[in-house]
Structure 1
Amino acid sequence: MTTFDARERAFERRFVQEEDARFRARTRRNLLLAAWACERMRLGAEAADRFVETFTDAGVVTGDGPLLSRLQADLRAAGVEETLPALRRELDRCAALARAERRAGPPPDPTA
């Protein structure tokens, strides 16, 4: 293996790791946003679980704009009025929280 090949493989590994980290952070952000929305809509536990699952699944394949539009429509259907700028701020807050959680590492295991 040449030095060039080794560097190429290292760059490829780093790219994969960075993409994985971005995916995990985006998924966590969407989960936090969905949980916030569930509180605003006053959903019960079962309905909230369903909402969070479908919202986070949809968030994987859509951009932020369509995701926020869908969230606004869901909130409106539940009788909660939120503007897109307010939802964007909440999305940014959830993203910052997800990044902070990632830097802090996994929470300690309470059973240990």
Structure 2
Amino acid sequence: MTTFDKREEGFEKKFALDEEQKFKAEARRNRLLGLWAAEKLGISGDAANIYAKEVVAAEFGEGGDAAVVRKVTGDLSAKGMAITEAQVRKEMTELMAQAVAQVKAGK
């Protein structure tokens, strides 16, 4: 194996690790967002964890961050809470930093 091949393999492994951490951080952020929304909805305990899992699943079922925002915004609006997509996206941004820190810490 040449030096170039070794470097290429190293870059590929780093890329794969970075993508895995990104995926984990996004899933963690969505879980944290689900717990945040559950609190606003008055849901606690096991029901809050179940709701958080539904928020995580929304990304995979309907497609990306937009689906997560739609679910949370829709659920909060259905309970009579005036919340905008921009507010939910702001919370997602704030929670992403927390999620990245948790993933890097191995939590």
- Where on the TM-score scale, by shorter chain, does this alignment land: which range? 0.7 to 0.9
* Counterpart AA for 2:45: A
The TM-score normalised by the length of structure 2 is 0.85
**1:106 offset after TM fit, Å?**
4.0
| Larger mean Cα displacement after TM superposition, 90-99 or 34-43 | 90-99
Superposed CA offset, 1:27-79 (max 9, x none) = 11111111000000001423222211121122246222222012111111223
Which structure has more helix as a fraction of its residues? 2
Q: Quick one: distance in 2 between partners of 1:28 and 1:6?
A: 33
Q: Quick one: distance in 2 between partners of 1:70 and 1:18?
A: 27
> Hey, what does 1:68 align to over in structure 2?
69
Count residues in correspondence.
Answer: 106
Q: Quick one: distance in 1 between partners of 2:64 and 2:25?
A: 14
Identity of aligned residues (%): 34
The TM-score normalised by the length of structure 1 is 0.82
> Hey, what does 1:110 align to over in structure 2?
none
Structure 1 residue ranges (4+ consecutive) displaced by more than 4 angstroms after TM superposition? none
* Counterpart AA for 2:19: E
| Larger mean Cα displacement after TM superposition, 79-88 or 25-34 | 79-88
* Contact 2:69 2:89 (C-alpha < 8 Å) held by counterparts: yes
Q: RMSD of the TM alignment (CA)? A: 1.8
